[in-house]
Amino acid sequence: MNSDPDTLQRLIDAPSESLRVELKSWMDSSSDEAREKIVRAVAALYNQDGGYLVFGIDNVSRTTAEGGPPDVEAIFNEDDLQTLVSKHLSLPAPITLRFAERQGVRHPIIVVPSGVRSPAVVRKPILKTPENGVYVRTLRTNGSVSTALAQAGDWPDLIQRCFDNREADVASFIRRHLADVSPGLIKSLMAIETVAAPDLKALTAALMDRSKKRFATALVEHGPPPFQAAWGGAETALQIWPPREDQVADKSFWRTLQVADPHYGGMTLWWDAGGLGPPATPVIKQGAWESWVVIDKGWQVFDFMRADPTGAFYQRRMYPIDAFAQRNGGTPGVGFDPGLAVQDVAEAMAAGLQFAAALGWAAEEAVLGFQFRWTGLQGRVLTSLSGEMRPPFDRAADDEAVSFVEIPLATAPLAVAPYARKATQSLIALFGGEVLTADFVERVVRGRLEHGR
């Protein structure tokens, strides 16, 4: 999971519980009761394929809880927490402890690793937590997200997550070691090409155009952000096939999305920014949940998103390289990071798959159509913040790139790398005909989806 400071800060600034985020009020981590809660939460988050355990936040009001310790770092110590987890759980990877500040208060955050391939099991009991117990994040216990012992209804999803991670390993192995096999055979093996859903490409394109018009209207309603917003941005339109008719954008739909949010990276798609207050607080407009998010605190955020229960989703956001240009001493509108573009596309795909499954579309029937559009590209030059690529690079002569891909819902979220490469080929080619290798795409996609980086 991602543990960079910006990711953790956003967890604190706009806190919201989900299957991958658990909020806890202040507790004395040396007490047996607190240690039991930590063991259960870490086990459940690992079995959810990683997540965050955030302390000092009231889950109801989503504000900083009262009664925090005067020296939080003396109470929450990574070595002690790791010893606790190792003693009581069969966890194959270490946890990490980080801190983020909100309103002058430092909040501890336990970052639980992803990559579950076999469930974490309690190997030594503590208080009422039994030996061999398997804990999960679930909606089954009381209708809200909670940590509980796995029941019969929780096991299919847990086992599926384990298989998905193993499947991603096998898929990566095949793509790496069968590079010389005919492309047709590889596509057949990896299920890249599927039967197209009727008119899905046209439906998704119409959604993109309709959403862009709604964005233009919202820009007039809210006014432009205080920083330059004319640098272009990345747009994602997701249309799930078959679309559902007569659906209502109620609280249950929005809550389902937030609970299913996989939190792969720092700024997830279709996130609940309600903790930031209006106009970021999601509202219902034209039959869909809509949010307008502007943040300017050394790094900038400019997000516009819509989520329609019929199966139509849209997001527009500024490029990450522009968002952090001011803080990094750079100039916005000059560079373009191909690795981040691939990662954002892959995250949209993986999150969309999880949303569709959580909303009840049938895996054997549903297909997801994604259209991606990048604007404000002319004059930019490729910039690899990760150092994965080497200059010199050509500048983009064109200002816009558009692509479309279809993904069957049965696809494992961690197996989207080939689709992400296909979706970004025309974009990267704008920069003097550059091509991203399959190995590069596989590496950066797994970096985001498995490790949040």
Is residue 91 domain-shared with residue 177, that is, in the same domain? no
Average pLDDT value for the chain:
86
Ramachandran category for residue 183: left, alpha or beta (phi over 0 → left; psi -120 to 50 → alpha): alpha
* N- to C-terminal Cα separation, the chain: 8
| pLDDT at 352 > cutoff 60 | yes
Q: Which residues have C-beta within 8 Å of that of residue 102, sequence separation ≥ 6?
A: 12, 13, 64
Distance CA 281, CA 276 (A): 7
pLDDT tens digits, one per residue of 174-217:
555 544 444 454 455 554 444 455 689 999 999 999 999 999 99
Bigger pLDDT: 268 vs 229: 268
What angle is formed at CA 419 by the lines to CA 418 and CA 422, rounded to 5 degrees?
Answer: 90
Cα radius of gyration rounded to whole Å, the chain: 22
| pLDDT at 226 > cutoff 90 | no
Is residue 218 domain-shared with residue 115, that is, in the same domain? no
Confidence (pLDDT) at 360:
92
pTM reported for the whole predicted model: 0.73
| Residue listed under structure tokens 């090409």 | 193
Is residue 111 domain-shared with residue 220, that is, in the same domain? no
Tell whether the torsion through CA atoms of 443, 448, 450 and 453 is positive or negative.
positive
| pLDDT at 275 > cutoff 90 | no
pLDDT tens digits, one per residue of 31-77:
999 999 999 999 999 999 899 999 999 877 777 888 888 889 888 99
Confidence (pLDDT) at 179:
47
**Is 280 domain-assigned?**
yes
Distance CA 269, CA 450 (A): 17
| pLDDT (mean) for 252-278 | 79
Is residue 115 domain-shared with residue 216, that is, in the same domain? no
Sequence-ordered strand ranges (E) for 74-130: 96-102, 105-112
pLDDT tens digits, one per residue of 378-437:
999 988 755 555 566 789 999 999 999 999 999 988 899 999 999 999 999 999 999 999
**Is 12 domain-assigned?**
yes
Asked whether 260 and 413 are in contact (CB, 8 A), the reply is no
Q: Which residues have C-beta within 8 Å of that of residue 403, sequence separation ≥ 6?
A: 371, 372, 422, 423, 424, 425, 426, 427
Confidence (pLDDT) at 102:
87
| pLDDT (mean) for 109-137 | 92
Confidence (pLDDT) at 431:
93
Is residue 290 domain-shared with residue 362, that is, in the same domain? yes
Is residue 366 domain-shared with residue 224, that is, in the same domain? yes
Distance CA 188, CA 193 (A): 7
Is residue 254 domain-shared with residue 139, that is, in the same domain? no
Q: Identify the CATH number of the domain in which residue 11 sits.
A: 3.30.950.30
Q: What is the count of structural domains for the chain?
A: 3
- The 3-class SS string of 216-242 reads HHHHHHHCCCCCCCCCCCEEEEEEEEC
* Proportion of the chain above pLDDT 70, given as a percent: 87
Is residue 109 domain-shared with residue 143, that is, in the same domain? yes
Give the domain extent around 21. 5-150
Is residue 83 domain-shared with residue 221, that is, in the same domain? no
Asked whether 137 and 149 are in contact (CB, 8 A), the reply is no
